[in-house]
């Protein structure tokens, strides 16, 4: 057998051996609880998800209809260092944002004029610059 023929015939066997070794190595690293699971569920099992707490809108309440609010208030979150609030109009334009709010309430800035219409607001609670709770969007409508 010539050396070229030997190399050609040995390649498929060598490739198969490499695949077998790689497969054995991968299964040796998996824990018994991961057997038969895919990579994404294995990652989920090893890194527990953080449960996001929910902030409740207090003033204005969800779907409030009436005059423009003079303040925003929400439920406090234990462990929060500060809060951040955002206010959007009905075309999703950010009208106002305030960060580093120490308490679960903030006055509407006097220089911000809100015309009649629908607005949306949300709040996040932060601890060590990491979001630990959020409110989701709440709508309110300013009417006469």
Tens digits of residue pLDDT in 56-85: 999 999 999 999 999 999 999 999 999 999
Q: pTM for the complete prediction? A: 0.64
For 47-74, b/e burial (b = at least 16 CB within 10 A) is eeeeeeeebbbeebeeebeeeebeebbb
CATH 2.60.40.1220 positions along the chain are 53-142
Of the pLDDT bands very low, low, confident and very high (cuts 50, 70, 90), residue 144 is confident
Q: Which CATH number does 53-142 carry?
A: 2.60.40.1220
């Amino acid at each position: 057998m010539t050396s070229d023929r030997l190399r050609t015939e040995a390649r498929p066997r060598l490739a198969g051996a490499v695949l077998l070794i790689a497969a054995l190595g991968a299964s040796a690293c998996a824990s018994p609880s991961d057997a038969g699971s895919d990579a994404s569920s294995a990652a989920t099992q090893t890194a527990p998800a953080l449960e996001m707490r929910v902030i409740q809108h207090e003033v204005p309440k969800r779907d409030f209809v009436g005059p423009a609010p003079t303040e925003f208030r929400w439920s406090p979150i234990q462990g929060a260092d500060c809060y951040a609030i955002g206010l959007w109009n009905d075309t999703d334009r950010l009208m106002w944002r305030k960060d580093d709010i120490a308490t679960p309430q903030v006055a509407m800035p006097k220089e911000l004029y809100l015309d009649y219409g629908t607005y949306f607001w949300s709040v996040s609670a932060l601890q060590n610059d990491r979001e630990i709770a959020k409110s989701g969007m709440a709508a309110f409508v300013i009417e006469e």
